[in-house]
Amino acid sequence: MERPKGLTLIIFAEVLYAVSAFLNFFSFFLILILYIISDKNNPYLSFENIGTAIIIFTLGVLAVIGAKDAWELKKTRIIYLSWYKYVRIC
């Protein structure tokens, strides 16, 4: 049985989704923990940088949601194309 052409893209999108979600949440909490345990006079972990981290986190959440939606759309399209091929064969 032949593998669907878009299956590699689905697997790639799923892996990309999982990696981006992990890195996004990990980096945000790492910055937050560093801010909590750091010296308050440290210029690298100032309020502006925490604000930047929150903005990056928000954009990362939107990217993860977009990747998940793209993966669902691609999966639906493959199922639709498989159904179309099945109907065409019959």
Instruction: Give 75 or 83, the one with higher predicted confidence.
Output: 75
Q: How confident is the model at residue 90 (pLDDT cuts 50, 70, 90)?
A: very low
pLDDT over threshold 70, residue 33:
yes
Position 2 in a domain = no
Q: Count the domains in the chain.
A: 1
Report pLDDT digits (tens) over 36-61: 666 666 666 566 666 777 777 777 77
Q: Which domain, by its residues, includes 85?
A: 7-89
Position 1 in a domain = no
Position 69 in a domain = yes
Residue listed under structure tokens 């691609």: 74
Position 75 in a domain = yes
Give the list of residues 6+ apart from residue 19 with CB closer than 8 angstroms, or none: none
Q: How confident is the model at residue 15 (pLDDT cuts 50, 70, 90)?
A: confident
Residues constituting the chain = 90
Position 18 in a domain = yes
